[in-house]
Amino acid sequence: MALRISDLRKTYSNGNHALQGVSLDVPEGSFYALLGPNGAGKSTMINMLADIVRPTSGEATLFGHDVFNDKAWCKRHMGVVPQEVAFDPFFTAREALRITCGLFGQRLDRAWMDELLERLGLAEHADKNARQLSGGMRRRLLVAQALVHRPPLVVLDEPTAGVDVELRRRLWDFMRELNRQGTTILLTTHYLEEAEELCEFVAIIDRGQLLTARPMRELMREVAGSHLWLRYDGDWRLTDADAEALSDYQPRVCDGLLCLTLTRSGQHASSFHSAYEAASSRFGPPLDAGVREEDLEDVFLRLTRENQA
């Protein structure tokens, strides 16, 4: 395993239980998505691995080395893109890379630095002061800083926030290439479509608890269901009583349509027919109906909604 986290907990001094015993295995060479709503505990977990936040309890190993006791080794073998943009206003992008590389104890590989600047679209801005860079450029500089010492594990905490579509695409192509060359990548993002496309493994956490951690295909095959949507005439509405009666299907209104979730597993496993009949018995036959397969975003929303309920 590249990263093994066991029963990791964090309680802040204000009493907030940010992580409540999360365990996670990130296989070596994998592209792993760590998903969760804001405040779920993703950044807390990453910051504990990066030695920015102290753990309350729990263990973590990086390629077999204890993250909290063999800090120097682990820090050299991990690159972290922090969620918050951080830049030193005194230095240029090139100087920032040189400094970061040195702080990690590595001799600067100029060819690699130039390649990073090129691949991340920073080459023509390399000698500008970080203050002169746009928000998206600063975020890409953070990515370059996390990669400059060639770590075998890269942790990307929302690396594409504020980055335009074209550069985001280039960034992901680069990350895929690094992953193919053996770099393990742990990614948190709110762009779930990208996570579904890029990652082979996914973990979803919410309120400091792990909801699921498994291969992406397995999650989509076994957990992702579909939506039954039904159209009714204009004065139709979903009352609390209707919602209660249809609660097995997590009813909600989407663009004026009644949407019911058809799951494939778990205690609320449901079928198209039973959902259609339940809706028809409440509202009568619909004007129109159809089925749409759930994507990762739907699964994510459903799991976090179930957890919060």
Partner 1 sequence: MRPVNPRGAWTLFQRETRRFMKVKMQTIVAPALTAVLYLIVFRYAMGDRQVPGLEVDYFTFLIPGLVMMSMLQNSFANTSSSMITGKVMNVHIYLLMAPLSAIEVVAAFLAAAVVRALTVAIVLLAVLIPFTGLGLAHVWMILFYGLCGSLLMGGLGLIGGMWSKKFDDMALVNNFIIMPLTFLSGVFYSVKQLPPFWQQLNAFNPFFYLIDGFRHGFIGVGDTNPATAIWVVLAAVTLCVAACWRLWHSGWRLKE
Using CA atoms, how far residue 226 sits from 47, 281, 290, 300, in Å, is: 36, 21, 10, 13
Between residues 104 and 236, which has the closer beta carbon with respect to partner 1? 104
C-alpha 103: how far from chain center = 28
The 218-247 site mask, x for binding partner 1 (CB under 8 A), equals: ------------------------------
Q: Smallest gap, in angstroms, from Cβ of residue 307 to partner 1?
A: 25
Q: Rounded to the nearest whole angstrom, what is the least distance from the CB of residue 102 to partner 1 in the complex?
A: 3
How many C-beta atoms surround the C-beta of residue 251 within 10 A? 22
Cα 190 to Cα 33, 157, 204, distances in angstroms: 10, 10, 12
Both structure tokens of 140? 């890409």
Cβ pair 60, 48 in contact under 8 A: yes
Distance between CA 68 and CA 209 in Å, rounded?
Answer: 21
What is the x/- site pattern for partner 1, positions 190-219, by CB under 8 A?
------------------------------
Which residues in 4-23 contact partner 1 (CB under 8 A)?
12-13
Query: 122 or 259: whose CB is closer to partner 1?
Result: 122
Given candidates 6, 7, 57, 71, which one binds partner 1 under the rule CB under 8 A?
71
| CB neighbour list of residue 127: distance below 8 Å, 6 or more residues apart | 92, 93, 94
Task: State which of residues 38, 84, 166, 267 lies at the interface with partner 1 (CB under 8 A).
Answer: 84
Contact with partner 1 (CB under 8 A): which of 6, 7, 39, 52? 52
Angle in degrees, CA 81, 304, 171, rounded to 5: 25
- Is residue 76 a contact partner of residue 149, using CB atoms and an 8 Å limit? yes
**Cα–Cα nearest to 227, from 285, 289, 288:** 289
Binds partner 1 (CB under 8 A): choice among 28, 88, 277, 293: 88
Please give the structure tokens belonging to residue 156.
């990307």
- Asked if 290 is part of the footprint of partner 1 (rule: CB under 8 A), the reply reads no
Footprint on residues 102-121 left by partner 1 (CB under 8 A): 102-107
Count of H-run helices and E-run strands, the chain: 11, 14
Are the CB atoms for 182 and 107 separated by under 8 Å? no
Q: What is the closest distance, in whole angstroms, from the C-beta atom of residue 91 to partner 1 in the complex?
A: 8
Residue 53 as a binder of partner 1 (CB under 8 A): the answer is yes
Question: Where does this chain touch partner 1 (CB under 8 A) — which range of 100-108, 115-123, 175-183, 214-222?
Answer: 100-108
Report the residue number, 47 or 250, with the smaller CB distance to partner 1.
Answer: 47
Residue ranges binding partner 1 (CB under 8 A) = 12-13, 47, 50-54, 71-73, 75-76, 80, 82, 84-91, 95, 99-107, 145
